[in-house]
Structure 1
Amino acid sequence: MTSSIPFNSKSTADDVLDRRAPSKDLDCMASEHQDPFAHLEMPLGLQDQLAFIQQIDQLKSVWRKTLLLDASRAENDAEHSWEMALMAIVLRDFAPAQSDMLRIVTMLLIHDLVEIDAGDAYAYDAAANLGQKEREAAAAQRIFGLLPSPSCSELKRC
């Protein structure tokens, strides 16, 4: 059960955080709950989809060599995928009329998921690219294999 935290235009983030119930230490929570969804009764396939969702959260921890536009830091793969997908939506008026925007956005959102296992190989780093194709194929098999067949097949088609 979640509690509602009142928020209005005059609230600050600190105000909202101060009103939350005390929480356990995050490290403690991680060790106690390996599967945060284990206690839920789920329809067939939902547990597999949630396992996939837990895996893709790791994309936030894959760091790229490219910097943010302000050059303040490197971007992570999740930021990269999100920005590419949003750019496709914003620039869709310049795409050929027959373009399948759902497929394009899906491709942009999933294209780096394999880097969760395979890592990000910088395009100009010949040594890092040795065996990258094989690592990415194995990663795709494992990560997309978490999904039930229809979902897995649909994403692999992209």
Structure 2
Amino acid sequence: MAISQPIQHQSDFMNLDDTIGNTMGKVPSTPYRPTPITPPAISLSRNTQDKKRKQEHLADNFTNSNFILTGYCPQQEEQAQLLDLIVYDIPAKWDSYTLLGNLSFWGKIISISTKVHKKYLSARVRLIPNYAYLKVYNGGEWIVRLRGIPIRWFPVS
């Protein structure tokens, strides 16, 4: 069942430009001019300052100490167990003393060379591992725990 309605033309409808009744006066239209929105400079500069301060703090931790030499000389029988490792995903908040203290749980540290990568650092570690970590290394595991944090380690080729 189709209901037919009379077709109305557009001009039959009221337009917004049409006026109803008596108006006091017409306001002349002004051309549209977009105004640029500028972001507040204070919050951006504060964020930038905070980032610089954090980067300077991390750089201060390892200033002139990106190479740590412990002075330990391995014995002749320990030379066969000497490992040269690259260790990744160490928190950059750790200073050289904390890093050395935590890595000493793996065995006798000979040297550590570090490089900071934003919030993490990588280290090249030469050490004589203790029995537990030598077993883990020989087992082929490439993720170990360092103070409860999963750390990746790989042999230096």
Q: State the TM-score, normalized to the length of structure 1.
A: 0.22
Largest Rg, 1 or 2: 2
Q: Please identify which structure carries the higher helix content.
A: 1
TM-score (normalised: structure 2): 0.22
